[in-house]
Structure 1
């Protein structure tokens, strides 16, 4: 047994003892903290694997790189829009040690999982301006205190709402609680132009978006999925209040039945076409909604909660380098280009993607274009991350399974949370 294998087994034992949470662990000689980044050699064409881009900005930025680097062109491989399918394709690529994907656009919560399996390379932290970025965002790019990815954009869930209709219905401010949101919908529903509108939607299909929406509901009602020590603690009265809000909203029509099939894009399209008064979604929606029939008729506010402002789930994407890729010198340079402040400014300006750079939230030109930036920054700084767990795929699948069963009426909220607690505890002992 070599030293590396010994360290991995030692780390695994600590992870199991700690429950679900991924901890920073190393050997007594502190060898983990002294691990060196791999050498980055080879130049030539590379690929960039990411979700399908509805904004067109990803290809725009890649085209800019390609114009300046004709011998080191980047090919954009667009993966399915479904987050679970994206993750699965990336894992399949890694498990076969394929070099088809060079740079990966990872959901922020995947960084630890991909690093732990040695599917991505450790990166030279000193070569990236991490000190200029929001700290919670940078932390999503680390594993065992080492950098394995670079923040591209962050994300905080926000509430889009039809400000024109609220004003006409006599509602003077965005709701800060779920009850206020439902009361506002009741007033708007009396307007002739709102006859066929539904109140609220988020992302409720059985995929990663459901994990996010379930987590936000639980956290916004004072509950948690895992406690401060990383142990499952979801079978609680507080968590039940959060899940009950979603379940009861489907029952009473606050959330339309068809929203059980919604991912981000379906919700965006419903809001833009005038079918919803309120929508929970990510910042990227803003730029596209401004080009739709609701342009100038909507605004953005923090998520509401049970008794006050709700808690967003910390989202975002990081870029990472496949351990099996070729032309890694080119890849590293492209990652610096793609995550630079100039690129972040472009993604914010053209696609309303939340930048990792602190200074852009105070840029007056950007604030004028996106007035909600200050609220978004606050949302990100106070967001609750999804559990960074050893077996994240299994954990998120369990969350989706039980939450979906409750929303569909196949289980009560109490039973779903009890079963979820049991499943998460089983994962903690594997």
Structure 2
């Protein structure tokens, strides 16, 4: 009996050893959680994640989405990081969050993963935006710049100035060719700040001059009046005060307006089957103001970061490498309409066939300006959001809005 028990014990240990060996040879996959804002209708992100999961046995990714609003996304991340949340690993982040998240110690520095040589394959502007205190904290996923969409079936050329845009819009509305002249994201959120800055820059204004607040100028006031005028004249629908990007895109796609301010991603979506303006619109740089010399888009874009609390940083990096590879960015450019950050994607013939505006507008994208680079940027943005929106709503004048912004900003920059 003892011998029999001994044999059973040896067999049990042998079986456990075999199981352990098999587990060592075929460990369970690492399960990553990846957060992004709500995905657009193209489904490009989901398709790329599905492809990654199908091709990888060692890493599997669960995709979770947040709000379309960048403000809502930031609030979610800040709350999670403050609680040292390790329930997610990789996330996409607005270009304006790098310095804030890095200085707070919330994200993993990527210098050991993302070599200087590899960074040379990316556009220099987005790489600069991912760099803080001489360290790289994110990988540029896609870049962005505000642009003007215009109905090419109704116009031969886009307007070069905001005054020309207003005049043409009034003419086409009077002729009954369109219902509205201009639609834009006018909700009280980050998108309104981007467009407000574009108007100010296009009119020769600025926000900060080093550490000095420089917004309260005739250029900034008259720039804000351009948007106020759009609403006062009925050129823009009153509902734009609640519109974000997708609201504005869907309104324009329905064929009801002559001009749209949005990001280039809208090109592919508005050219899909079922769109009432498919093949009837083009994209152009934003117009210039009466006191400006050139229109300027606001530099946008989203980067990929690793949560410092993640337990799977190496796997997270492998996933980021995949999403920012040439093939993945090419797919995203052709299907999702996103502007790639790898220079070589712009030179790809298939990509240009789908996005024919790439060669023409690339200089405009490269010349776009970033929002104020400041550790106080969230506060600066909130100040502008509130006052821009109150001016558009008719609650205060443009002069009052700009003066309020100056006063509140000087609490952060007293010089």
Alignment length (residue pairs):
381
Asked whether 1:53 is paired with 2:48, we answer no
Secondary structure at 1:271 match in 2: helix
TM-score, scaled relative to structure 1: 0.85
CA contact (8 A) 1:302 1:309 kept: no
Secondary structure at 2:339 match in 1: coil
Q: Partner of 2:86 in structure 1?
A: 99
Q: Partner of 1:361 in structure 2?
A: 346
Q: Partner of 2:204 in structure 1?
A: 222
Secondary structure at 2:375 match in 1: coil
CA contact (8 A) 2:151 2:258 kept: yes
CA contact (8 A) 1:178 1:305 kept: yes
Cα offsets for 1:160-204 (capped at 9, x unmatched): 1111022xxxxx31111111112222332244442xx11002111
Where does structure 2 lack aligned partners over 5 or more consecutive residues? Answer: 1-27
Alignment map for 1:281-292 (pairs within 5 Å): 281-291=262-272, 292=275
How far is the alpha carbon of 1:118 from its aligned partner? Answer: 0.8
CA distance in 2, matches of 1:237, 1:192: 35
Q: Partner of 2:153 in structure 1?
A: 164
How far is the alpha carbon of 1:277 from its aligned partner? Answer: 0.8
Considering only aligned residues, what root-mean-square deviation do their CA atoms show, in Å? 1.7
Q: Which moved more, 1:93-102 or 1:185-194?
A: 185-194
Of 201, 214, 239 in structure 1, the residue corresponding to residue 183 of structure 2 is 201
Cα offsets for 1:313-357 (capped at 9, x unmatched): 000000000111121110011111111121111110001100112
Where does structure 1 lack aligned partners over 5 or more consecutive residues? Answer: 1-41, 167-171
Alignment map for 1:16-165 (pairs within 5 Å): 44-54=30-40, 55-124=42-111, 125-126=114-115, 129-165=118-154
Secondary structure at 2:120 match in 1: helix
Secondary structure at 1:428 match in 2: coil
CA contact (8 A) 2:198 2:295 kept: yes
CA contact (8 A) 2:29 2:57 kept: no
CA distance in 2, matches of 1:160, 1:53: 22
Asked whether 1:333 is paired with 2:315, we answer no
Q: 1:205 to 1:138 in 2, by over 3 A?
A: same
CA distance in 1, matches of 2:203, 2:57: 53
CA contact (8 A) 2:29 2:60 kept: no
How far is the alpha carbon of 1:303 from its aligned partner? Answer: 0.7
Q: Partner of 1:388 in structure 2?
A: 373
Of 224, 237, 246 in structure 1, the residue corresponding to residue 227 of structure 2 is 246
How far is the alpha carbon of 1:425 from its aligned partner? Answer: 1.4
Cα offsets for 1:25-52 (capped at 9, x unmatched): xxxxxxxxxxxxxxxxx97111111101
Q: 1:328 to 1:407 in 2, by over 3 A?
A: same
Q: Partner of 1:277 in structure 2?
A: 258
CA distance in 1, matches of 2:172, 2:118: 47
TM-score, scaled relative to structure 2: 0.88
Secondary structure at 2:58 match in 1: coil
CA contact (8 A) 1:43 1:330 kept: no
Q: Which moved more, 1:367-376 or 1:413-422?
A: 367-376
Q: Partner of 1:16 in structure 2?
A: none
Q: Partner of 2:23 in structure 1?
A: none
CA distance in 2, matches of 1:349, 1:259: 29
CA contact (8 A) 1:156 1:376 kept: no
How far is the alpha carbon of 1:361 from its aligned partner? Answer: 2.1
Asked whether 1:402 is paired with 2:387, we answer yes
CA distance in 1, matches of 2:175, 2:295: 28
Q: 1:331 to 1:341 in 2, by over 3 A?
A: same
Q: Partner of 1:210 in structure 2?
A: 192
Q: Partner of 1:176 in structure 2?
A: 160
Q: 1:231 to 1:348 in 2, by over 3 A?
A: same
